[in-house]
């Protein structure tokens, strides 16, 4: 009885997916909206990477909202996990000290070599967001992965939460201020054309997009690092 039921469910799923696969025919041309974006971004914003152009200019307000959501997540995780952290701090420290044993020498040396490399890679991703694949969100996640490696490698390593929260707030304020500067000097909130567009594809180009990218990367990196630190046992 149970087996026939399972077979029936699997067959139904197969039917659904098969119909999806059969009905799919690939579009040969772009939709009108995508086409206008592909033409407009390099022309108006001077950014070879269309996606970063859309994310940090046309839909920059949306990006600001996403960062705010991430901030809410960090605050929520702090609210849920921070309380238990305080309780363990009140109880004698030895209990938590004995449960976490130091990681091996190989992991520690590996972290020492890899964390600088990861930081450089994160900076590369953030700074090249307007030219190739990458941008603030991705680079921030890479920064946080470096912090995670440090936390894993050394039990004594403590994330400086105060520094992180100050840096994160400063980056957020600067992001909004850049947006307001766009309102004053260019066409609207978070318009990147307040700075000269520069040569197409150059490192310093695409107006304010690299600056916004850096601020976004710092903010996301700090937020994710705080979340990682909250999950420490």
Partner 1 sequence: MLELIGSILVLLGAIFHFSAGLGMLRMPDAYTRMQAGTKASTLGNTLILAGLGFYHPEWSLKLLIIICFVLMTNPVSSHALARAAHIIQIPMTRKTTVDALRDSQQRHRGGK
Beta strands of 124-219 (E only): which ranges?
Answer: none
CA angle, corner 185, sides to 172 and 215, nearest 5?
20
Inter-axis angle of helices 105-127 and 209-230, nearest 10: 150
Choose the stretch contacting partner 1; rule: CB under 8 A; options: 13-21, 85-93, 103-111, 132-140: 103-111
For position 103 contacting partner 1 by CB under 8 A, the verdict is yes
For position 233 contacting partner 1 by CB under 8 A, the verdict is no
Q: Which of 132, 137, 120, 144 is nearest to 214 (CA)?
A: 137
- The residues in 122-161 that bind partner 1, with binding defined as CB under 8 A, are 152
Minimal distance in Å, beta carbon 156 to partner 1?
17
Minimal distance in Å, beta carbon 199 to partner 1?
21
Q: Which two tokens stand for residue 68?
A: 């705010």
User: Could you give the CA distance from residue 198 to residue 158 in angstroms, rounded to a whole number?
Assistant: 42
In the complex with partner 1, the residue whose CB is nearer, 37 or 124, is 124
Site for partner 1 (CB under 8 A): which residue of 21, 22, 83, 106?
106
Site for partner 1 (CB under 8 A): which residue of 38, 107, 127, 148?
107
- The residues in 82-101 that bind partner 1, with binding defined as CB under 8 A, are 101
Q: Which of 110, 208, 223, 98 is nearest to 172 (CA)?
A: 223
Binding site for partner 1 (CB under 8 A): 101, 103-104, 106-107, 110, 113-114, 117, 152
């Amino acid at each position: 009885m149970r087996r026939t039921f399972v077979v029936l469910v699997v067959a139904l799923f197969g039917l659904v997916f098969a119909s999806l696969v059969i009905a799919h025919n690939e579009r040969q041309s772009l939709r009108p909206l995508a086409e206008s974006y592909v033409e407009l971004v390099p022309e108006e914003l001077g950014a070879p990477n269309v996606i970063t152009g859309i994310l940090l200019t046309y839909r920059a307000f949306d990006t600001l909202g996403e960062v705010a959501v991430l901030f809410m997540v960090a605050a929520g995780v702090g609210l849920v996990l921070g309380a238990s952290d305080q309780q363990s701090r009140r109880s004698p420290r030895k209990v938590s000290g004995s449960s976490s044993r130091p990681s091996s020498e190989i992991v520690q040396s590996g972290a020492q070599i890899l964390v600088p490399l990861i930081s450089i890679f994160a900076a590369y991703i953030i700074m090249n967001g307007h030219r190739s694949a990458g941008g603030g969100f991705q680079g921030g996640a890479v920064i946080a992965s470096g912090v995670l490696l440090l936390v894993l490698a050394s039990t004594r390593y403590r994330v400086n939460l105060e520094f992180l929260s100050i840096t994160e707030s400063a980056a957020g304020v600067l992001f909004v201020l850049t947006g307001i500067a766009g309102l004053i000097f260019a066409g609207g909130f978070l318009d990147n054309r307040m700075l000269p567009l520069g040569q197409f594809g150059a490192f310093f180009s695409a107006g304010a997009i690299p600056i916004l990218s850096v601020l976004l990367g710092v903010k996301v990196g700090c937020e994710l690092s705080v979340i990682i630190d909250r999950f420490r046992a």
